[in-house]
Amino acid sequence: MVSIGRVGRVDLRCVVPRIECEAVCVRHWDWSETSQTVSLITREHGLVRCLAKGSKREKAPFSGGLEIATIGHMVSIVRPNSELVLLTSWDLLDPAHLLRTDLGRYHGAMYAIDLIPRLINDHDPHPELYDSVREVLRVLGSEGECGRARVARLLAWYQWVLLGSIGSAPELRADVRGGGRLEAGQGVYGFDARHGGFTQDPGHAEMADVWRVRSETLEVLRRLDEGGGVDARGDGGLRAVTRAGALLAMYIRTLVGHEIRSAYPIYPQTRPSM
């Protein structure tokens, strides 16, 4: 919105910045009986927290409502004195119906989305992260088979992209404890989450900060790092890909410093032991 003075000059103080683009809803809360606050991830503007006034009213300009994992076109106004952007309209593009008809799809989508606000800051764009979460939602929301193997491959790949986009991908080729390169041909390695990568020493019972990891898990992560696909065909392949995904989930848990409950249905081994 621009105000023009009598002499035809633009008063820049009256320019209201707008955000208008595609977005994915990653969180929402009730603000009042008729309004919501929402977190939306966008490609150009990163994570945007918004106030959607009147979004629960029947005739509000928020088609289809705001639900987690839905994709829409947002229009909003940036308010200089508020942490919340004012969401003025939401045009629903994908209601993500299939995600809510199958538990495997649903749990996979909820975990992928739950990681976003835990690992990135507001208004910090990560285009590759946005593209990857859109791909996750596209695959999980598509018609056709979407079994354990496909979900396992998808989430292992997604977590690797997410960690890479924030500069926290674990080291796969150098020994993070002893220095030098990791030697090949070893059946079991160690993974030191606090040092951010693998070590030649697989650790022992007294080394609680080093997790024992099979060489097959390391190979899966290396293939992801090289931009290749991961093969989950057959029980052996599925187990290796699932272990790789679970390792990344546990590493992310260490990075954020608290439990991530949305990981439990996907990776039961990440549950804290009683």
* Nearest by Cα to 55 from 42, 40, 43, 38: 38
Domain end, chosen from 114, 146, 178, is at 146
pLDDT of residue 72: 94
Number of structural domains the chain divides into? 2
Domain span at 106: 20-146
CATH number of residue 84's parent domain? 2.40.50.140
Task: Encode pLDDT of 100-154 as tens digits.
Answer: 889 999 999 999 999 999 999 999 999 999 999 999 999 999 988 888 999 999 9
Assess whether 46 and 124 both reside in one domain. yes
- Asked if residue 9 belongs to a domain, the reply is no
What pLDDT, on the 0 to 100 scale, is given for residue 30? 82
pLDDT tens track of the chain, all 274 residues?
Answer: 333 344 455 443 455 588 999 999 999 988 888 788 999 999 999 999 999 888 777 777 777 668 999 999 999 999 888 889 999 999 999 998 889 889 999 999 999 999 999 999 999 999 999 999 999 999 999 988 888 999 999 999 999 999 999 999 999 999 999 889 999 889 999 999 999 999 998 876 566 779 999 999 999 999 999 987 776 666 668 999 999 999 999 999 999 999 999 999 999 999 987 5
What confidence score (pLDDT) does residue 12 get? 39
254 Cβ partners below 8 Å, 6+ apart?
Answer: 193, 194
In a domain, 203, yes or no: yes
Examine the fold and report which residue of 117, 146, 175 is the final residue of a domain before the chain moves on. Answer: 146
**Is the domain of 37 the same as that of 131?**
yes
203 touches 193 (CB < 8 A): no
d(CA 51, CA 35): 8
- Taking the CA atoms of residue 34, residue 44, residue 69 and residue 28 in that order, the dihedral angle to the nearest 10 degrees is -30
Q: Tell me, what's the pLDDT at 7?
A: 42
Q: Within this chain, do residues 209 and 248 fall inside the same structural domain, yes or no?
A: yes
Predicted local confidence at residue 231, as pLDDT: 67
User: According to the model, what pLDDT value does residue 47 have?
Assistant: 96
Confidence at residue 1, expressed as pLDDT on a 0 to 100 scale:
37
CA distances from 8 to 1, 14, 244 (A): 15, 14, 62
| Whole-angstrom distance, CA of residue 120 vs CA of residue 35 | 25
SS3 85: strand
Check whether residue 114 and residue 227 sit in a common domain. no
Q: Which residue shows structure tokens 């909820």?
A: 110
